[in-house]
């Protein structure tokens, strides 16, 4: 948001989706990191909303985005499965 210019929610989401697409297979980024890289330094919650509303046909790798503690989305077994298929490593409890 350079120069005080406003961007629409659609534009924000698009920038977040573009950043998510850059996360390499088997790696993760936090919602906050994603927002920061997209130009929204305090937009972690917004990044979470964007990932939750990602259009399915676009194949955005939302499963590569985790919370600030590195935890997966609660109740989302698919996220763990997809990351494991990509070679992601997990800490045991």
Model confidence pLDDT, tens digit, residues 15-59: 999 999 999 998 999 999 999 999 999 999 999 999 999 998 888
HEC letters along 20-61: HCCCCCCCCEEHHHHHHHCCCCCCHHHHHHHHHCCCHHHCCC
Q: What per-residue confidence (pLDDT) applies to 53?
A: 93
Taking the model in full, what pTM does it have? 0.85
Mean pLDDT of 69-78: 86
More confident residue, 70 or 35: 35
4 Cα distance to chain centroid: 25
């Amino acid at each position: 948001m350079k120069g005080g210019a406003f961007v629409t929610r659609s534009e924000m989401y698009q920038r977040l989706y573009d950043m998510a697409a850059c996360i390499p297979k088997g790696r993760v980024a936090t919602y906050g990191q994603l927002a920061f890289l997209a130009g929204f330094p305090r937009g972690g919650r917004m990044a979470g909303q964007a990932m939750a509303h990602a259009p399915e046909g676009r194949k955005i790798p939302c499963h590569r985005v985790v919370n600030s503690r590195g935890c997966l989305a609660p109740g989302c077994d698919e996220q763990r499965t997809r990351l494991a298929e990509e070679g992601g490593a997990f800490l045991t409890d």
